[in-house]
Amino acid sequence: MPVPCPAVLIAAPASGQGKTTVACALARLHTRQGRRVRVFKCGPDFLDPYWLSLASGAPVHQLDLWMTGEADCARRLHDAAQAADLIIVEGVMGLFDGLPSAADLAQRFGLPVLAVIDASAMAGTFGALAWGLQHYREGLRFAGVLANRVASDSHAAMLEESLREPAQWLGALIRSNAMTLPERHLGLVMSDELGDAMQRLDAAADALATTPLGQMRGDDLQAWAVPFTAPDAQGFPSGALQSRTVAVARDAAFCFIYAANLDCLRELGAQLVFFSPLADKALPACDALWLPGGYPELHAETLGANSAMRASVAGHVRAGKPVWAECGGMMALFDELQTVDGASHAMWGVLPGSVTMQKRLAALGPQQLGLAGGTLRGHTFHYSTCATPLQPATHTEAAPGRKLRSGGEALYVSGSVRASYFHAWFASNPTAAAQLFLEQAS
């Protein structure tokens, strides 16, 4: 039985236009007005969800027709529709960028598209961009267009006049540092690193409240209503990790964690315990260890100086207990990490070799990893390279229809440790995900 709920996909002609700011502002505004808001992020992204979750007060999951899968997207949207008054999906890159794109997702589920355009250096061309985004693909629902980083009210008036369809005008946000979300090399700075994160969101919500978009109320939102249908139920190996405790590193250095991955481990039967490699002296009692990605390069000195944690991780490995380390988690396991300024820091020495930070991206894109239990989908996104005498057990492959610029990511296997730059989406193959936290057959 379809469940109707107002929903909107916030898109743009390119990255850096302000999609996250607008998505957060819209979520914060309606949450403050007492509505139940659920937000999703299109594509693989760890950082935007921190802000989106803070704005909405609810967990934020990813939607991607390939990585998470069409059925997974349908189930999450259907579940959200049953509990929400408004669903917001933040797009990725430009509306038609990627394979699949945000437009593909919007068209598959009938989501109306709200286009955010950085109008800081344009006037009449704003109308051309809005027209192109609306009409480039037939059958795409269009909610309207919002001008971002506008210089003044008179500038906003010129932008509005440039539209061929005046009804598509949803307002303008005047450029303001008060609602800027700061960035660094992997994306947005995490919300919990800033003491004024909520003030920034409130400033954005206050600004949005003065626009036609921000003045929409419950009845107005029904114009965005979408009927969401649940997919057929699929089998799930719910007891694969029953009675097993998985320790998960989670702090400022290890923060690239999909909320859905934690849910998947719990559905597999695992008990999760969290710890901080930066602050704690030992692992909690556990059967398996997950070291997710993050920013070990920003905390290399502290990580290297925590000799007690280093010894605890080494003891876990000597005991033959499983370790799954992805990207930043793998970086911490090597002997040495060299930062972009040339400084070298001793790491945990579980894997032989070193990692070196680069000023440019070393790899980016959707990939899949074949394991004994099946194939896991996910992606790669990193600025470092590694040099190690270890021979890869296997490599990731490109997503269907994509090509790898320089080969797939290596999967290193050393004793009970499995490590890779690859970030896995566990729900794409729960059986394979469970194998990462079980003892390997000798």
Q: Which residues are catalytically annotated?
A: 327
Pick from 303, 258, 265: nearest CA to 281: 303
User: Residue 330 in 3-state DSSP?
Assistant: helix
- Of 250, 385, 394, whose CA–CA distance to 329 is shortest? 250
Give the C-alpha separation, 47 to 84, whole Å. 23
Instruction: Find out whether the peptide bond into 100 is cis, omega within 30 degrees of 0.
Output: yes
β-strand partners of 10? 90, 114
DSSP 246-289: EEEE-SSSS-B--HHHHHHHHHTTPEEEEE-TTT-SSPPS-SEE
- Which segments of 152-298 does DSSP mark as H helices, in order? 153-161, 197-208, 218-221, 259-267
Nearest residue to 15 via CA among 118, 163, 113, 107: 118
Q: DSSP assignment of 390-439, as one string?
A: PPPSEE-EEPTT---SS-PPEEEEETTEEEESPEEEGGG-HHHHHHTTSP
